[in-house]
Chain A
Amino acid sequence: MSDSKTITALEIGTGKMQVFIGEVVDDKLLNFIGSGQAATEGVKKADIVDIRRAASQAQAAIVMAERSASAQIKSVCLGISGTHIKGFRNVGSANVSGADGVVRREDVERAKEDARTKSLAEGRSYIHRICCGYYVDDKFCTNPLGLSGRRVDAEYWMMHGDNDRIASAIHAVESFGIEVEHLVFSGIASALAVTSPQQKIDGVLCVDIGCGTSDYAYYRHGHIVQAGVIPVGGDHITNDLSFGIRLTRKNSERVKIHCGKANLSEDERGMQFWSLGDKQIGDKKIPLDAVNRIIRARLEELFLLLREDIQEYLTEDGIKEVVLTGGTSNLDGICELAAAVLERPCGKGRFDSSIGEKLRYQEYATALGLLEYARIEGAKSSRKKSGWLGKTFGQLFNI
Chain B
Amino acid sequence: MPKKTKQSVADWRKLKEGSPETRKKPLSWRARFKSLSSWIKRILVAAVIVAAGSGAYYVYSNFYVDEILSGKTGNIKNIELKTDGAITGKWLGSFLKIPPGAKLDDINIFAVKKSLEDLEQVTSASVERIYPDVLRITITELKPMMRVTVKINGGPRTYLMSPNGVFFRPVSMDRSFIEKLPRIEDARISFDGSRPRPYANAHKVREFLAYAQKLMPEELAKWRAINVRELDSVILPLIIVKTEGGAQIVFATQDYQKQFDRLDYILRYSQQKPLKSIERIDLSLKDRADVRISDQRQQ
Contact = CB atoms under 8 A, between A and B. Distances in A.
Given A122-B7, A125-B10, A175 B31 contact: yes
Contacts of A170: 12, 15-16
Given A119-B4, A167-B15, A176 B31 contact: yes
Interface stretch (B33-41, B56-64, B163-171): B33-41
B26 A124 contact: no
Interface in B207-259: none
Interface size class of A (residues with CB under 8 A): 20 to 34
Contacts of A117: 9
B9 A55 contact: no
B5 A180 contact: no
A223 interface: no
Nearest to B35: A177
Interface in B36-75: 38, 41-42, 45
Contact of B15 (A116, A118, A163): A163
A107 to B, nearest CB: 21
Interface in A159-200: 160-161, 163, 166-167, 170-171, 174-177, 180, 183
B287 interface: no
A58 B49 CA distance: 39
Contact of A175 (B6, B14, B27, B38): B27
Given A118-B9, A399-B38, A180 B28 contact: no
Interface residues of B, number: 30
Contacts of A124: 10
Contacts of A55: 27-28
Q: Chain A's interface: helix, strand, loop or mixed, by majority?
A: mixed
B298 interface: no
A140 interface: no
Contacts of B30: 176-177
A52 B26 CA distance: 11
Contacts of B42: 399
Contacts of B34: 177
Contacts of A399: 38, 41-42, 45
A59 B28 contact: yes
B106 interface: no
B271 interface: no
B97 interface: no
A117 B12 CA distance: 14
Contacts of B8: 119
B3 interface: yes
Contact of B16 (A59, A119, A120, A174): A174
Contact of B33 (A126, A174, A177, A183): A177
A175 B26 CA distance: 4
A394 to B, nearest CB: 15
Contacts of A175: 24-28, 31
B22 interface: yes
A35 to B, nearest CB: 20
A118 B22 CA distance: 22
B2 interface: yes
A174 B26 CA distance: 7
Contacts of A118: 9
Contacts of A125: 10-12, 14-15
A211 interface: no
A281 interface: no
A183 to B, nearest CB: 5
Give the one of B2, B15, B28, B42 with max A CB within 10 A.
Answer: B15
Contacts of B6: 119
Interface string A36-66: 0000000000000000100100010000000
A126 B9 contact: yes
Contacts of A171: 24
B10 A126 contact: yes
A99 interface: no
A370 interface: no
A160 B15 CA distance: 13
A21 interface: no
Contacts of B25: 175
Given A125-B15, A126-B10, A163-B10, A177 B22 contact: no
B9 A116 contact: yes
A120 B33 contact: no
A157 B235 CA distance: 104
A217 interface: no
Nearest to A175: B27
A121 interface: yes
B9 A127 contact: no
Contact of B26 (A116, A122, A176): A176
B41 A180 contact: no
B8 to A, nearest CB: 8
A399 B6 CA distance: 34
A368 to B, nearest CB: 22
Given A163-B15, A166-B15, A121 B28 contact: no
Contacts of A167: 15, 22, 24
Nearest to A125: B10
Given A125-B14, A170-B15, A177 B24 contact: no
A37 to B, nearest CB: 19
B67 to A, nearest CB: 35
A326 to B, nearest CB: 23
A122 B9 contact: no
A177 B26 CA distance: 7
B214 to A, nearest CB: 64
B4 A183 contact: no
Given A120-B9, A122-B2, 11 more contacts: A118-B9, A120-B10, A121-B2, A163-B22, A167-B15, A167-B22, A174-B31, A175-B27, A177-B28, A177-B34, A177-B35
7 contacts: A55-B27, A59-B28, A122-B2, A122-B5, A125-B12, A125-B15, A176-B27
Interface of A: 52, 55, 59, 116-122, 124-127, 160-161, 163, 166-167, 170-171, 174-177, 180, 183, 399
Interface of B: 2-12, 14-16, 22, 24-28, 30-35, 38, 41-42, 45
- What 10 pairs between A and B have smallest CB-CB spacing? A177-B34, A177-B31, A176-B28, A175-B27, A121-B2, A125-B10, A177-B30, A167-B22, A176-B31, A167-B15
